[in-house]
Amino acid sequence: MKNILPTMMTKHAAGALLCLLMIHLPTGGLAQSDDPTRDPRLDTIRQAVETTQNQVKYVRADARTLARRISDEQYTPEAFMVDFRSLQMQFQKLVGTYDWLAKLVSQFDHPSVANAVAEMDAGLKIIAESFVPVQQEIDAGTIERTTIGQMARILDSAIGEWSSELKRNQYRLRGMR
């Protein structure tokens, strides 16, 4: 699962997405630019990128907490359900923030960027599949700790890789104007 992103998205597509995201963006803070020739949508896109990255942190934190707690024999099914629903909610918020980012970027009508957005969206859909085995066990009433632990570790790793692609390109292109 460690190398999931190369199969989900080409580096060229991710680079095209982030090139558009970071071109002309200020190297510091989120303040609006005083440059009258600068497209104000770029500041909103920068904020959307930051919001998406912050949401990644929440998903990963919940996944790690679940993975750690599931091995505790005192961990009850009720406590698991609370943690599992929280993880699902955080993941859905990540999907929502990414959808916001994708909508903003799509306003630029650039074919390679549109392709990158679609590939990253597909990556999130693939990652969402990690919830399925656990949900099937919940529905069947046969919750297994090993399945839960595997799901949490896979989710943490896959989201980390997805986020790393975003970060690698973001930092590489940060200084472009």
- Domain membership of residue 90 (yes or no) is yes
pLDDT at residue 95 in the model: 96
What is the domain count for the chain? 1
Predicted confidence at residue 40, as pLDDT, reads 74
pTM value is 0.76
The pLDDT, as a whole number, for residue 37 is 62
C-alpha distances in Å from residue 50, one per residue of 54, 69, 133, 173? 6, 29, 31, 15
Separation CA 88–CA 49 (nearest Å): 21
What's the domain range around 48? 4-25+39-173
Among 18-27, 87-96, 105-114, 163-172, top mean pLDDT goes to: 87-96
| 169 confidence band (pLDDT: 50, 70, 90) | low
Among 86, 81, 99, 82, which Cα is nearest to 59's?
86
User: Residue 163 falls within a domain, yes or no?
Assistant: yes
Task: Please report whether residue 33 resides in a domain.
Answer: no
Looking up residue 48, the CATH number of its domain turns out to be: 1.20.120
Residue 30 lies in a domain: no
